Amino acid sequence: MDNIIYNDFSVLWVGYIFANYRNSYPSQQYILDNMYKIPSILTADEIIDKAFKKAKKVQVVVKGKSKKDNKIAIAKVKAVKNTISSSLNRYVKSFPSFDTIPPFYYELFDASIGVDALRKSLGALDWCRKTIENIADETVAKIRRSDNREYIKAQRTCFFGRSSSVIKQISKDLDFLNRARRKLLSVPEIYPEKPTIVIAGAPNVGKSLLVTQISSAKPKIASYPFTTKGISVGHFESEGIIYQVIDTPGLLDREMEKRNEMEQKAILALRHLANIIVFVIDPSEYCGYTMDSQLRILSDIKTRFREISVIEVENKVDIVKLDTSRFKISALRGDGVMELKDIVVSNLKGM
């Protein structure tokens, strides 16, 4: 028991030191790499099947006749125990630790999967593993002491029955974890630790075009568990620093009141990601939204993201140029785009 406590703490310590290395969370790459290592999770029936097949295949070399039945039975019980135990252990270990992942991902997973439910299911797997290990150990002890062939066989059968019924109790947890795994695997390749510019504004104001113009390569479309539309991510470099530009279709383009709970959470998660918001306005109103309604969205965003500075930009100056102090660009012609980039970079550097 002492040993177990000691081990748990040492794991915690390593995690703690790791998480605080350079005073940051584990690197994004580390998280993404490990996310992809979550093995596919078998159903309760498949685990039972796998364990019993292993038991069937067990070969025991027994010298002499003494305790032959005991040795075979024990080997079979152990094969079942080890198969189940190592599968469940692998599943539990392969999920990311929710205490150390960046807050953006925490909220993302919480909204799309539910961190509490995930913890509960992982706990259920641990419970199942320990229970089966205990039953196996008791069974082995009983078998070891016996000289009665029938009794040995009965103990073995009883163990098989009990362990499959214990596994069946976590059937729903296994299914849940498999669904969670699939969601975790589709996590967008967004790097919370990179300086991040989030582009906002009503639909059709020119956000996507701006992301393309700012980014050095074609922006990648990543899936975002909250919206049907993919999130678009571009990058550019300035003085050796990689900046990330993100367009969030469907999220920061409508008034907040009209949001369902999931969208609200998705929007909140962006708080942990955005270092600066560029709000694009289309004064030509060709986008189909009046200036009034665009400015209402802007004021909503300012309320939601109080702590994040918002740069207001008027796009489509090739059509309409207002007499305002806002920065003006044409994403179509490229006018002002490089200057906007410089403004954004110097703002981010000032933070």
- 66, with CB counted inside 10 A (0-12, 13-18, 19+), is exposed
Contact (Cβ atoms closer than 8 angstroms) between residue 77 and residue 144:
no
Q: Does 206 bind ligand GDP (CB under 6 A)?
A: yes
Q: Residue 203 binds what, of Mg ion, ligand GDP, none (CB under 5 to 8 Å, by partner type)?
A: ligand GDP
Provide CB contacts within 8 A for 235, sequence distance 6+. Answer: 215, 216, 217, 242, 243, 244, 245
Q: Residue 209 binds what, of ligand GDP, Mg ion, none (CB under 5 to 8 Å, by partner type)?
A: ligand GDP
Kindly indicate which of the ranges 26-34, 46-54, 80-88, 326-334 contains the residues binding ligand GDP, using the contact rule CB under 6 A. Answer: 326-334
Kindly indicate which of the ranges 77-85, 118-126, 200-208, 315-323 contains the residues binding Mg ion, using the contact rule CB under 5 A. Answer: 200-208
Reading phi first (left if > 0) and then psi (alpha if -120 to 50, else beta), residue 168 is in alpha
Q: Does 316 bind ligand GDP (CB under 6 A)?
A: yes
How many amino acids of this chain bind ligand GDP (CB under 6 A)? Answer: 15
Q: Is 79 or 267 the residue whose CB approaches ligand GDP more closely? A: 267
Kindly indicate which of the ranges 207-215, 266-274, 298-306, 336-344 contains the residues binding Mg ion, using the contact rule CB under 5 A. Answer: 207-215
Q: Does 231 bind ligand GDP (CB under 6 A)?
A: no
- Residue of the chain from 34, 208, 293, 309 that contacts Mg ion (CB under 5 A): 208
The H-or-E segment that residue 313 falls in is strand 309-314
Q: Residue 316 binds what, of Mg ion, ligand GDP, none (CB under 5 to 8 Å, by partner type)?
A: ligand GDP
Measured between its terminal Cα atoms, the distance across the chain in Å is: 49
Q: What is the CA radius of gyration of the chain?
A: 28
- Residue of the chain from 78, 81, 156, 207 that contacts ligand GDP (CB under 6 A): 207
What gap in Å lies between CA 317 and CA 315, rounded to an integer? 6
Query: Residue type at 42?
Result: L
Q: Residue 116 binds what, of ligand GDP, Mg ion, none (CB under 5 to 8 Å, by partner type)?
A: none
* DSSP helix/strand/coil, 273: coil
In the complex, the smallest distance separating the C-beta of residue 223 from ligand GDP, rounded to whole angstroms, is 17
What gap in Å lies between CA 254 and CA 18, rounded to an integer? 40
Among candidates 342, 333, 292, which has minimal Cα distance to 315?
Answer: 333
Kindly indicate which of the ranges 12-20, 46-54, 295-303, 330-338 contains the residues binding ligand GDP, using the contact rule CB under 6 A. Answer: 330-338
What gap in Å lies between CA 231 and CA 220, rounded to an integer? 8
Provide CB contacts within 8 A for 130, sequence distance 6+. Answer: none
In the complex, the smallest distance separating the C-beta of residue 262 from ligand GDP, rounded to whole angstroms, is 21
In the complex, the smallest distance separating the C-beta of residue 287 from ligand GDP, rounded to whole angstroms, is 7
**What residue ranges bind Mg ion (CB under 5 A)?**
208
Binding site for ligand GDP (CB under 6 A): 201, 203-209, 315-316, 318-319, 330-332
